[in-house]
Each structure stands twice: as structure tokens, then as C-alpha cells.
């Protein structure tokens, strides 16, 4: 139980249904859909689409998504890959010939075909109860009327907004200036696109005037995208990957997402007695940091498009984790893993919903970097992701850019299962931090017995190539102790990610937690 003398928030408890996400309007919309007879999939789709209006620097209909979900009466967890492919004419060799070592972040070369809309339509048709017209209505209304800019969104806007160019400036700034807290953001062009999708489905987005609007913006910047590339966009059902941690099963989306990294990280941590250490101690942070370096190094070598990820079984094998754990010195930090040649981001949104029938949905949705590529279509203002910057340009690398291929993705939804049933859909935003965030959240609950909200609120650390990022919530002596172990300690400008989770108790009670690092909340009824 938290100390009620100190600032903080309690978990949210309910029985009939719950949503946890990063903006209150999206959470309220999801609950409204549940109360109107929709299921968890309906609610997640409605809330996610609205998040693109509430947090436009993070996500939107020009992006990608991944989902894990269950269906009532079936313990199996299913996965949907809603990530887009590079245009058929994309070529790493062509970019190398131009002198590039990485895919330029804010270029048409970085824009892969957005696949979120196809995923929304497919999930709605296959697993929803209400039609797209009902699910898209809240986002249409708010896009037309406008949404007050929330504090965390306003915090991100000035820095992320530097990416905006051309039509992006017109649609996502006020006379070239970032919007501030309380300003009203409107997206009437997107409202019209959503109205067309509600009436005609995916073809309204991937063919005709809307697709032509996106193509015009991309081709004007020498993009090689074609109408055929957009028409061919398709999400795919797939099978999750999973690993065990002290009686709990961590279920992740498979490649091209980086979820296997979280499983490998937890497999390494199983070799250490974290529960014997104080949860905020330098000792625990050090072991997690060293395990993170090793797990991310494996990620950088192996994870790519599913068709090109050849060593996944090796990455998840117990003996691999055992060999890596043996490399960790509890008394000394090792060098960081070599940085990816491809870009890593920190911008995404996550929503989780559980309904009365205990259908659970874990859904993550992103345009990659802040405001994506910065390229928006002229008429409708569709901001396009720069997910293609997640490709490598290294010749022969599994993640090398190629026409029709999908890049390695950082966004990963997750679920925790215990005793043969799902007990917690959850996600931790924050780009490259996400696998480390999954591991820390699970460890906070399994090793230290924290409740959902406390596990989310606890201060975070992340070892990346720049150094060991340490949030200000840690005790003052912890940073010095970590420096003494050889870590280059950095206090980052931004907090590390943002988490959302719903615990499904044996009693049937739902317990939701939502990260104060974002603007959102958990709501139930």
C-alpha cells in the first residue's frame, strides 16, 4: 500500500470493464464503447484512433500498430502484425550510392506504407461487435471540434515539431509555432478521412483520393512509393513468443517487433536473485543494466522482418541466456552494446482494454519519431511515419532495407499469464526502452510484490549506448554507487517511457494502473 502522505495515485478498481491509456479522453471513449455493448476490441480501436488526435506527435493514421488479444472462453493469446512494408522500389544500395550510412530520418525514403488502418479494419471485422462507423465517430467528432492540448503533449511538441516540414507545418503548428497546454488542436482533414473509412472501409484510405494525397506528398520529395504499394498494404495474424519468469509467463509479439528482446532479458535476469536486493538499489539497477546491454546486442544482430529473422530460437534458448548471464560482473560495468545503425525512437501510444467477458486487448500504435517523418499530405494532413528509418543500410544485415520488407520495430504490446490464464495485458512506451521497461515492470511485481500502480510509478533506469539513463526519482546516493561501478550516469531530459496495465485478479476484480509520466489514466465501470 502506498504512503498516502506522499503525492501519487491509487490504482483503479472495477469489475465490468476497464481501459488504461495515455490520454483521459481516449480512456473515457473506450469505456463508453464498452457500456454501449462493444467488446474490448471495439473499445481499443475507438480509443487508439482518438489517441492520434489527442497525441498527434506520437501516433496517427499514417502509422503502424501491433496487437495481442484473447477471445472469450479461449486461453490462447493471438497476435496481429499491423506494420507496413517498404515500397517495392526501395533499395538500401541506392541509398548507399548516395552516400548515406543510415536512412535519413525526415525523408520520403524513411516512409513505409502505413498499415494501422488495415489492422483496425481487419480487427473490427474479425473480432469486434460494433461497426467502424460507431468506433470512428468519437475521433471524427474530436478531430472536427478540437482537443485541448494536454501537458505532456505540449512538453513534447516544441522538440518533436522541429521535424515538421511543408504541409506538416501547416497542419501541426499555429503559424509555425508549437501548440501549448490548453491550445485547441483540430484536424478536420483527418476527420474527413475517417468518415470515408467509416463508410467504405480500408479502400477509402489505400485507394482513391486519400492515397493520392499521400502519394503526391511523397513523390514530390522523390519518394519511390506507388499506388500499387498502398493498395497492397495488409496486416497479418501471427503467433506470439513467450518466456517464463519465476512462475509468470511473459508473452510478446514476435519479430519484426523487438518483444523477443524482453524475453531474453528476463531469461538472463532469472540467473540473479533480484528479490534479495532493495528494489531501488544500485545493485539491482547494475544487474538489469548489464543484462540489458547483452539482450539488446542480440536484438541488434537478429531481429528483422519475420521472413528474415533466422535465429529467433537461438535468441530465446535457455542456454543462450545462461551463457550471457555468466558474462555479467556484479562489481563492474561492461561497455555498452554497439549502437544500431538504424534509428531508435521514443514516441508511441499504448492502450489496453479488458471487458466483461474478460476479452483482453494489448494494443500499441506509433508513427516512430516525434511527428514521424514530418511529412504530411497536403489536403488531408495525414502525417506519415518514418518507420523505414528502422532499417539498416549495412549490406547483408537481416534488417537491411529491401522493397516489400518490414523493418525492425521497437513498439511491442505484452501480456502476463499465470497458471494458464492471462492476468495482465500491459505495455511500456518509450522506443528502445520498451523491452527493458517490460522486464522492470514484471520484476517489480514478481520479485518485489508491488501492485500495478506502484510497479508503474517506480523510478526507472536504462542502459543505452549513450550511458546509463537514471530518472531523478532515484535516491541521491544511487547515482554515485553506479558511477563507482563504471557506469556513465545520465539524467535524461525526458522520463523513461510510460506504462499502462490492467491486472485481472482471480476474484474477477480488475486493477488498472496508468503512468503519471503521461497524461492518461485507468478508468473502469
pLDDT tens, position by position, 231-279: 999 999 999 999 999 999 999 999 999 999 999 999 999 999 999 999 9
By CB atoms closer than 10 A (0-12, 13-18, 19+), residue 441 is buried
Q: Which tens digit of pLDDT belongs to each residue from 2-52?
A: 788 888 899 999 999 999 999 999 999 999 999 999 999 999 999 999 999
Flag the least confident range among 5-9, 168-172, 225-229. Answer: 5-9
pLDDT at 339: 58
Which of the residues 21, 70, 71, 348 is marked catalytic? 348
Average pLDDT of the chain is 95
Mean pLDDT, residues 172-181 taken together? 97
pLDDT classification of 310: cutoffs 50, 70, 90 = confident
Q: Is the pLDDT of residue 127 over 80?
A: yes
pLDDT classification of 341: cutoffs 50, 70, 90 = very low
State what percent of residues in the chain have pLDDT above 70. Answer: 98
CA distances from 286 to 33, 54, 115, 279, 486 (A): 44, 37, 38, 12, 10
Q: Is the pLDDT of residue 345 over 70?
A: no
pLDDT classification of 337: cutoffs 50, 70, 90 = low
Q: Which tens digit of pLDDT belongs to each residue from 400-449?
A: 999 999 999 989 999 999 999 999 999 999 888 999 999 999 999 999 99
Whole-model pTM: value is: 0.96
Q: Give the residue ranges of DSSP H helices in 408-492.
A: 434-446, 452-457, 476-484
Q: Which tens digit of pLDDT belongs to each residue from 469-516?
A: 999 999 989 999 999 999 999 999 899 999 999 999 999 999 999 999
pLDDT at 150: 97
pLDDT classification of 342: cutoffs 50, 70, 90 = very low
pLDDT at 343: 45
Element at 197 (helix H, strand E): helix 188-200
Q: Is-contact 40 82, C-beta < 8 A?
A: no
Question: Does the annotation mark 348 as catalytic?
Answer: yes
The helix/strand/coil state of 12 is: strand
pLDDT at 351: 98
pLDDT at 239: 96
State what percent of residues in the chain have pLDDT above 90. Answer: 92
Q: Is the pLDDT of residue 346 over 60?
A: no
Question: Which range has the top average pLDDT, 339-343, 465-469, 519-523?
Answer: 519-523
pLDDT at 432: 87
Distance (Å, rounded) from C-alpha 120 to C-alpha 135?
A: 10
pLDDT at 60: 97
Cell of 175: 503559424
The three-state DSSP-derived secondary structure of 309-364 is: CCCHHHHHCHHHHHHHHCCCECCECCCCCCCCCCCCCCCCEEEEEECCCCCEEEEE
- Output 320-327 pairs: Cβ under 8 A, ≥24 positions apart: 320/264, 320/267, 321/264, 321/267, 321/268, 321/270, 321/271, 322/271, 324/264, 324/268, 324/291, 324/294, 324/295, 324/298, 325/268, 325/270, 325/271, 325/272, 325/291, 326/271, 327/290, 327/294
Amino acid at each position: 500500500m502506498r504512503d498516502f502522505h506522499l503525492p501519487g495515485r491509487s490504482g483503479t478498481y472495477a469489475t465490468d470493464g476497464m481501459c488504461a491509456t495515455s490520454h483521459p479522453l481516449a480512456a473515457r471513449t473506450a469505456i463508453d464503447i464498452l457500456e454501449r455493448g462493444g467488446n474490448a476490441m471495439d473499445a481499443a480501436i475507438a480509443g487508439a484512433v482518438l489517441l492520434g488526435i489527442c497525441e498527434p506527435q506520437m501516433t496517427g493514421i499514417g502509422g503502424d500498430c501491433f496487437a495481442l488479444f484473447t477471445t472469450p472462453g479461449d486461453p490462447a493469446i493471438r497476435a496481429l502484425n499491423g506494420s507496413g512494408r517498404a515500397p517495392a522500389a526501395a533499395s538500401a544500395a541506392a541509398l548507399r550510392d548516395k552516400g548515406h550510412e543510415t536512412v535519413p530520418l525526415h525523408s520520403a525514403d524513411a516512409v513505409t506504407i502505413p498499415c494501422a488502418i488495415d489492422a483496425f479494419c481487419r480487427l473490427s471485422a474479425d473480432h469486434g461487435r460494433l461497426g467502424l462507423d460507431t468506433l470512428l465517430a468519437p475521433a471524427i467528432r474530436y478531430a472536427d471540434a478540437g482537443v485541448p492540448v494536454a501537458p505532456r503533449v505540449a512538453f513534447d511538441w516544441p522538440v518533436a515539431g522541429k521535424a515538421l516540414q511543408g504541409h506538416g507545418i501547416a497542419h501541426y503548428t499555429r503559424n509555425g509555432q508549437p501548440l501549448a497546454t490548453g491550445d485547441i488542436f483540430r484536424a478536420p482533414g483527418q476527420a474527413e478521412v475517417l468518415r470515408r473509412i467509416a463508410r467504405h472501409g480500408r479502400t477509402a484510405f489505400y485507394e482513391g483520393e486519400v492515397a493520392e494525397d499521400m502519394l503526391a506528398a511523397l513523390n514530390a520529395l522523390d519518394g519511390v512509393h506507388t499506388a500499387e504499394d498502398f493498395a497492397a498494404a495488409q496486416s497479418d495474424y501471427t503467433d506470439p513468443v513467450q518466456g517464463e519468469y519465476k512462475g509468470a509467463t511473459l508473452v510478446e509479439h514476435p519479430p519484426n517487433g523487438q518483444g523477443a528482446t524482453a524475453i531474453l532479458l528476463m531469461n538472463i535476469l532469472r540467473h540473479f536473485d533480484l528479490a534479495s536486493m532493495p528494489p531501488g538499489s544500485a545493485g539491482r539497477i547494475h544487474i538489469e543494466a548489464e543484462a540489458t546491454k547483452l539482450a539488446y546486442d542480440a536484438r541488434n544482430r537478429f531481429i528483422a522482418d519475420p521472413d528474415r529473422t533466422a535465429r529467433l530460437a537461438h535468441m530465446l534458448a535457455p542456454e543462450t541466456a545462461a551463457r550471457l548471464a555468466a558474462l555479467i560482473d556484479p562489481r563492474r560495468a561492461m561497455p555498452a552494446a554497439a549502437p544500431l545503425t538504424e534509428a531508435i525512437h521514443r514516441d508511441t501510444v499504448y492502450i489496453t482494454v479488458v471487458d466483461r467477458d474478460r476479452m483482453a486487448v494489448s494494443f500499441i500504435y506509433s508513427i516512430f519519431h516525434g511527428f514521424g517523418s514530418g511529412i504530411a499530405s497536403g489536403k488531408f494532413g495525414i502525417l506519415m511515419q518514418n518507420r523505414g528509418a528502422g532499417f539498416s543500410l549495412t549490406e547483408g544485415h537481416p534488417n537491411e532495407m529491401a522493397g516489400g520488407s518490414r523493418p525492425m520495430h521497437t513498439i511491442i504490446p505484452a501480456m502476463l499469464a499465470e497458471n494458464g490464464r492471462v492476468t495482465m495485458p500491459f505495455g511500456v512506451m518509450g522506443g528502445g526502452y520498451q523491452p527493458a521497461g517490460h522486464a522492470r515492470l514484471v520484476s517489480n511485481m514478481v520479485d518485489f510484490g508491488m501492485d500495478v500502480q506502484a510497479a508503474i510509478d517506480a523510478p526507472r533506469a536504462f542502459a543505452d549506448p549513450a550511458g546509463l539513463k537514471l530518472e531523478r526519482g532515484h535516491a541521491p546516493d544511487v547515482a554515485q554507487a553506479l558511477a563507482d561501478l563504471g557506469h556513465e550516469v545520465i539524467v535524461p531530459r525526458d522520463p523513461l517511457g510510460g506504462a499502462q496495465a490492467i491486472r485481472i485478479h482471480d476474484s474477477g476484480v480488475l486493477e488498472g494502473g496508468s503512468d503519471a509520466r503521461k497524461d492518461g489514466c485507468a478508468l473502469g465501470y
